[in-house]
Amino acid sequence: MDAEIAIIGGTGSFDPGLLEDSRTVAVETPYGPPSDTITLGSFRGRKLALLPRHGRTHTIPPHAINFRANIWALKSLGVGRIISPSAVGSLQEAKRPGDLVFVDQFIDRTHGRPATFYDGGRVCHVSVADPVCPDLRARALDAARALPHHATGTYVCVQGPRFSTRAESRVFRSWGADVIGMTLVPEAVLAREAEVCYLPIATVTDWDVWKETAVTIDDVLATMKANATRLRGLLADLIPSLPAERACLCKDALKSAFV
C-alpha cells in the first residue's frame, strides 16, 4: 500500500512540503491519465496521496476532469479514504463566504461526464442515498468545532465551465440547494463505486449570482486565502485522528449493487 488517505484538491488545501519522504508517481489507468502526477508521503504517521484536481498549473476545467482516472489511480495506490475540498458559491444567506460546509447531499446538473466504472458487462446500481462517508463526516465535524462551519448542506453540481444565470440560481435556491460547484459529481459517485470513503469539504468563496452584492476579486482572493488556512488546520487535526481500519459500510458499497 502506497497511500491510505488521499486529498483531492487545489493548491492551498494541503502543503506538499508537510509530507515526509515525499515522492511523485505517474499512474497509468484504463481510463487514461489522472489530472496530474500524485504526490505520496507521510504526514504524522499516515500515508497520504495528494492529487491536484485541476492539474498542478490549474489547466483542466471542471467538465474535462478525468474523474474515473483520478479515483482509479488513488484506489490502485491503496487509498481507502478520500478527502475532497473544493471552492463553492453560496445559495443561502446563512452560508457565508469563509464558511466550511460539510455537504451531505448533492443534486446532479452535469451532463456528458462518464460517471461509472461499469459501462457494460456488469450492470451496477450503486446507492448514493447518502453519498458521504458517515464516519469521515463525524470525525471532520469534530475537528471543525472551532471553525465557522455548517454540519449539513446540499451541493448542486453544475456542468460549467460557465457560471449560472440569475434565473438558474433562483431555481437552485428554491430547490433547497445550499451551495453550488462544478466538481462533486461524478467524483463522489465514482468513489462510492470504488468502495472508497469520501468526504467533500465545501469552502464558500462568494454568493453566486442570486444576491445583488458587488463582489470584488480582492474580496474573493482574501476569502480563498482565509479558507485555505482554515482547511489546512482542519486537515492537520482530522488526518491523524482517523483509525487505521474502516468501520463504515463504504467498503462494502457494491455488495448489493449488481443486477
- Site for Zn ion contains 197 (CB under 5 A): yes
Closest to Zn ion by CB, 88 or 242: 242
- Site for Zn ion contains 5 (CB under 5 A): no
- Site for Zn ion contains 248 (CB under 5 A): yes
Annotated catalytic residue, options 36, 99, 135, 208:
208
Q: How far is the CB of 44 from Zn ion (least distance, A)?
A: 20
- Site for Zn ion contains 254 (CB under 5 A): no
Q: How many residues bind Zn ion (CB under 5 A)?
A: 4
Among 12, 10, 2, 15, which Cα is nearest to 49's?
2
Binding mask 147-166 for Zn ion (x = CB under 5 A): --------------------
Return the range that interacts with Zn ion (CB under 5 A); candidates 67-75, 83-91, 100-108, 133-141. Answer: 133-141
Looking at 71, 77, 126, 133, which residue binds Zn ion (CB under 5 A)? Answer: 133
Return the range that interacts with Zn ion (CB under 5 A); candidates 8-16, 160-168, 173-181, 191-199. Answer: 191-199
Closest to Zn ion by CB, 63 or 251: 251
Q: How far is the CB of 138 from Zn ion (least distance, A)?
A: 10
Looking at 6, 140, 250, 253, which residue binds Zn ion (CB under 5 A)? Answer: 250
Question: Biggest alpha carbon distance in the chain?
Answer: 52
Among 80, 56, 87, 104, which Cα is nearest to 4's?
80
- The yes-or-no answer on residue 104 being catalytic is no
Annotated catalytic residue, options 135, 178, 206, 237:
206
- The yes-or-no answer on residue 218 being catalytic is no
Return the range that interacts with Zn ion (CB under 5 A); candidates 1-9, 27-35, 120-128, 132-140. Answer: 132-140
Q: Tell me which residues touch Zn ion (CB under 5 A).
A: 133, 197, 248, 250
Active site residues: 206, 208
